Every structure is written in structure tokens, then in C-alpha cells.
Chain A
Amino acid sequence: MSDEISSPAYFALSVAPSPPLVTPVRRFVEHFFATIRGPRATRDRVSIACYELLDNAIRYCADGETDLRVGLMPVGSDWLVTVRTRNRASERDVARAVSILERLSDDDPMPVYVEIMREAVGRDDATGAGAGLGLARVRAEGGMKIAWEVTGNELEIRAEVRTSPEDTQ
């Protein structure tokens, strides 16, 4: 990562539930990482995470308020990159998200990702909504570890990855 940012940094957005905002936010995040000359792979990992986590948060938000926070923490010559979303949702939607996240906790998420892809195709819903494709992408394609916390009806999801200046994997 470039030395233009040499100390912990973050930005945070509060987003009213509006699906058309997801792509502009993703582009903003990509532009941010390009500006600090982050490796392309890191930029793409964070891009996937921002899009899919924010899209889910907006889709299942119960009260019109969704928060997104992207943080960078230097760790030696590496960076710890964190994407966090927080929103309130119905008990049923929180339980479903947690169930998917638990399935994705294995060290090798690809077998579960293939299972989730097959489940998504079997759904009548054209979007595959609720199948967990978005969360599975963050974990399996982005290679990010995902933690979560439920407080009442509020769900916080935190995806993070430690990247090096040569991140290409």
C-alpha cells in the first residue's frame, strides 16, 4: 500500500435505503483505494465487500438507516482492511443471515459457496435473495474473514482482510 496513508484511517457513510446508491458507493470506495494506490486485488476485495454487504443491509433494513464504515489499519508493511455494515432487521432476517455466516466460517469457504450457488439457482426468486450469494462472495471470492454481532434486532457484519503491497491472490 502506498505511503500516502501511514496511520489508521477510515471513512463512514450513513445510507438511507436506496438500492441505486450502492453502485456509486462502490465506485467511491474503488476510487479511494486507487487514490492511495492500493493493490488492484485489495481494491477488488473491498469493492465486492462494500457492494454486497451494503446491498444486503439496504435490502433487509427495517428502519431506513444503514451504516457503512471502511477502515485501514497499518500492520507492519501490511494493512488490515475492514468493511463494516450495521442495520436493524427483522428477527427472521437476522437469524437467516447468521445461519449463512455460520456456514461460511470454515477455513475453506469454497465448498459452501458452491452449495449456496446451487441453492440459489433452485430458488424461484429471480434474485436468489436470501440464499446468501452476496455474503458467500465476500468470504469466498474476496477472501475476507467475516465476523458478526447481533444486539437486539441490530446486525453488525465486519469483513476484514490483511493485505500486503503485493496483494495479488
Chain B
Amino acid sequence: MSDGPVLASGDLRGTVLRPGPRERVLSLSGVGDTESKEALRDFLLDAHRSAVRDGAREVCVDWLRLEFLNSSCLKAFLTWINEIRSTPGCYAVRLRLDPASYWQRRSAEALVGFGGDEASIAVDG
């Protein structure tokens, strides 16, 4: 079942799925460049507010079809993780990566480092 905001900005696309009552899957595809940075930030923050409101336990971010994110779009993820860090008892994050992608693995490691102990971020792939 699809739910919540849909992202379509430049070459970047995103959808929110609700596979279970307390789960969210944010699927991203395409290229996130400077043109898409604000739309991506708004997409993530809208999804965050919705997940908190509904008591979600886990939000999975699917990068399997994501070709590239630039640093401006990475900053949108930092803003989102910062919101998670400042929300007590917030949901856990799971990043689903393309196992063949070096940049995804390295960017995911950076996001985990940024989240520190105040955000639960696991990486698959």
C-alpha cells in the first residue's frame, strides 16, 4: 500500500510504502543533484513527521535504484537524521543498498557516523 508524499524532482523519484502498520519504506531512484535538494529534504521531513505521528518502529530507505546523490542531497539526509536524533524514542533507520555500489556503501557509512549513538541506523547490502 502506498502512503504519504511522493517525490518527483529533476531526475530524482521517491515513494513511500507502508508494508506494515508500523513500518515505512522510502524508495528512491534516479539522480539526486542540486536541483532536487530541497524537494528531497521536504520529502524526508514529511515522511519523518508521518512516521512519528503513526508510531513507526522502523523506516527503511531503499537506494537499490539510486544512481547517485550529490553532497547537497546528502545534506538533506543529514537534516533528516538530525531530526531523528532530536526526537526521543524515534524509529530505527535501515538503509538498503545496492551491494555493488561503492559510493552507496561509503555514503551510508558517513550517515551512520553522523547519526552517532543518538540515531539507530543499520545498513543492508
Contacts and interface: CB of A to CB of B under 8 A. Distances in A.
B75 interface: yes
Interface in B19-70: 31, 33-35, 37-38, 41, 68, 70
Nearest to B34: A19
A52 B34 contact: no
Nearest to A22: B33
The interface residues of chain A, by DSSP majority, are classed as: helix
A141 B69 CA distance: 13
A114 B33 contact: no
A117 B102 contact: no
Given A19-B34, A44-B103, A127 B75 contact: yes
Contact of A40 (B72, B74, B102, B113): B102
A133 B75 contact: yes
B110 interface: yes
Contacts of B68: 23, 26, 47, 51
A118 B111 CA distance: 11
Interface of A: 19-20, 22-23, 26, 40-41, 43-45, 47-48, 51-52, 55, 110, 113-114, 117-118, 120-121, 126-129, 133-134, 137, 140-143, 168
